[in-house]
C-alpha cells in the first residue's frame, strides 16, 4: 500500500511540475510578444542595386540601428547612380509621406529641387557618402573623399617603396550629372604622392564600373604602356577586375596594385599577393550613423552638418583582423 501511495505522489508531483512549466512558458511568451511594439517611424533610404560590398554592409548597419531605435527602415534600390532616377525615387517617398529620407546625391540641381519639396512637406532629409556633390545646409554622413585619396596615395608609396610609374583609375560619376566639383579622391592621391620625386603619375583614366570596360582598359595598359608598374584603383568594382587581368596575363609581381573597397574578391587577391592593399570606408558605420542622425532630426535634436565615419586601410598584415571585425559587425 505504501508503494502505491508513493507512486501516486510521484505522479502528482510530475503532473504539477508540467502544468507549472506550461503556465510559465506561456507567460514568458506573452511577455516577449508584448515587447514587439509597432515601429515608431518609417524612414526610407535610397540605395544602389549593386553587388558591391559597401551596400551590403551599409544596409546591415542601417537595419541594426533601425532595430535599436524601433524604426521601420526601408531600402529602395535604384539601378544606377543616375540623377533623374534618384530624384524620382525620392519624390515618390515624399508623396508617400515617409517620416524621413536619406539618399546619396548624384548631382546638385535635381537633388536641390527634391530637398525643397521635402522641406515643404516637413520631411527631414540627409545625404550620405556625398562629398562629390555637396549640398549646402543639408547634413551628410560618410567618409571623406580627400582622406580616402590621401590614404590611397600613401599606400601606393608604401607599395612601391617610393619609386614607380603610376596609372590612376577613377570610376566615373553618372552620365549627365552637372557638376564642376573637383574630384577629391584624385586631389588626395596627388597631394600624398607630391613628396616623392621618383613616383610619377603618368596617366589618369576615368572609366565606368562595367567589368568589360575595366578588362579592356587594363589590357590596354599592359600592352601599350609598358612603363606603368603600379596601378592605383580608386573604385570598388574596378579593383578586382584589374587584379584578374594581371592574373590572366601572368603579370603578378611585375605590376603592383593598390585598390579601393572591400569586396570579397579584393580581400582574396590581397591574401594571394596580387593586390598590395586597399582603402575602404566603414560602410556598416555609415549605414548605422545615417539612421541615427535621421532619427535625431526627427526627435528635434541639432546634429552636425557633416559626420565623418573614417576609413580602413587593409594590407596582408591586418587582413585577418579586418575580416574578423567585419564579421563581428554582421553577427
Residue 214 and residue 103 share a domain: no
What values do phi and psi take at 101, rounded to 5?
A: -140, 140
Q: Kindly state the cell numbers that stand for 188.
A: 588626395
> Half-sphere exposure (CA, 13 Å, Cβ side) for 148?
29
CATH code: domain of residue 118: 3.40.50.2300
Give the chain's largest Cα–Cα span: 104
Q: Which among 102, 50, 49 has a CA at the least distance from the CA of 73? A: 102
Q: Pairing between strand 71-78 and 41-48?
A: parallel
Domain that holds residue 301: 41-143+283-309
Residue 262 and residue 165 share a domain: yes
Q: Kindly state the cell numbers that stand for 28.
A: 514568458
pLDDT digits (tens, 9 = 90+) for 146-198: 999 999 999 999 999 999 999 999 987 554 444 434 478 999 999 999 999 99
Residue 111 has a pLDDT of 82
Q: Is residue 34 situated within a structural domain?
A: no
Residue 305 and residue 288 share a domain: yes
Query: Which neighbouring-strand residues pair with 48?
Result: 78
Q: At what angle do helices 145-159 and 184-193 cross, to 10 degrees?
A: 40
Q: Is residue 229 situated within a structural domain?
A: yes
Q: Kindly state the cell numbers that stand for 116.
A: 525643397
pTM value?
0.82
Distance CA 159, CA 258 (A): 8
Residue 152 and residue 274 share a domain: yes
253 close to 160: Cβ distance less than 8 angstroms: no
Q: Which helix (H) or strand (E) holds 127?
A: strand 125-128
Judge whether residue 120 has pLDDT over 70. yes
Q: Is residue 275 situated within a structural domain?
A: yes
Distance CA 28, CA 26 (A): 5
Exposed/middle/buried for 231, CB within 10 Å: 0-12, 13-18, 19+? buried
Q: Which of the residue ranges 162-176, 199-213, 244-258 would you say has the lowest mean pLDDT? A: 162-176
pLDDT band at 201 (very low <50, low <70, confident <90, very high): very high
Residue 11 has a pLDDT of 47
Q: Is residue 217 situated within a structural domain?
A: yes
Q: Is residue 258 situated within a structural domain?
A: yes
Amino acid at each position: 500500500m505504501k508503494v502505491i501511495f508513493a507512486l501516486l505522489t510521484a505522479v502528482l508531483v510530475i503532473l504539477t511540475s508540467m502544468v507549472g512549466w506550461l503556465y510559465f512558458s506561456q507567460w514568458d511568451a506573452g511577455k516577449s510578444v508584448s515587447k514587439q511594439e509597432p515601429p515608431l517611424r518609417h524612414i526610407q533610404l535610397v540605395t544602389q542595386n549593386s553587388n558591391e560590398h559597401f551596400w551590403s554592409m551599409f544596409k546591415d548597419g542601417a537595419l541594426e540601428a533601425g532595430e535599436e531605435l524601433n524604426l521601420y527602415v526601408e531600402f529602395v534600390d535604384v539601378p544606377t547612380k543616375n540623377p533623374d532616377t534618384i530624384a524620382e525615387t525620392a519624390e515618390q517617398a515624399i508623396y508617400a509621406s515617409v517620416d524621413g529620407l536619406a539618399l546619396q546625391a548624384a548631382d546638385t540641381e535635381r537633388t536641390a529641387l527634391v530637398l525643397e519639396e521635402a522641406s515643404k512637406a516637413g520631411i527631414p532629409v540627409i545625404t550620405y557618402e556625398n562629398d562629390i556633390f555637396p549640398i549646402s545646409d543639408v547634413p551628410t554622413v560618410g567618409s571623406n573623399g580627400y582622406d580616402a585619396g590621401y590614404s590611397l596615395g600613401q599606400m601606393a608609396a608604401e607599395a612601391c617603396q617610393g619609386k614607380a610609374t603610376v596609372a590612376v583609375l577613377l570610376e566615373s560619376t553618372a552620365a549627365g550629372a552637372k557638376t564642376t566639383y573637383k574630384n577629391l579622391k584624385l586631389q588626395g592621391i596627388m597631394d600624398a604622392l607630391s613628396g616623392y620625386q621618383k613616383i610619377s603619375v603618368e596617366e589618369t583614366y576615368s572609366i565606368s564600373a562595367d567589368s568589360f570596360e575595366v578588362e579592356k582598359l587594363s589590357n590596354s595598359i599592359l600592352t601599350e604602356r609598358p612603363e606603368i608598374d603600379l596601378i592605383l584603383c580608386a573604385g570598388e568594382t574596378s579593383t578586382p577586375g584589374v587584379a584578374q587581368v594581371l592574373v590572366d596575363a601572368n603579370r603578378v609581381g611585375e605590376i603592383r596594385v593598390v585598390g579601393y573597397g572591400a569586396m570579397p574578391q579584393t580581400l582574396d587577391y590581397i591574401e594571394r599577393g596580387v593586390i598590395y592593399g586597399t582603402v575602404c570606408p566603414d560602410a556598416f558605420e555609415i549605414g548605422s550613423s545615417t539612421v541615427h542622425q535621421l532619427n535625431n532630426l526627427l526627435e528635434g535634436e541639432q546634429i552636425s552638418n557633416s559626420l565623418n565615419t573614417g576609413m580602413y586601410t587593409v594590407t596582408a598584415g591586418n587582413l585577418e583582423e579586418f575580416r574578423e571585425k567585419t564579421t563581428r559587425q554582421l553577427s
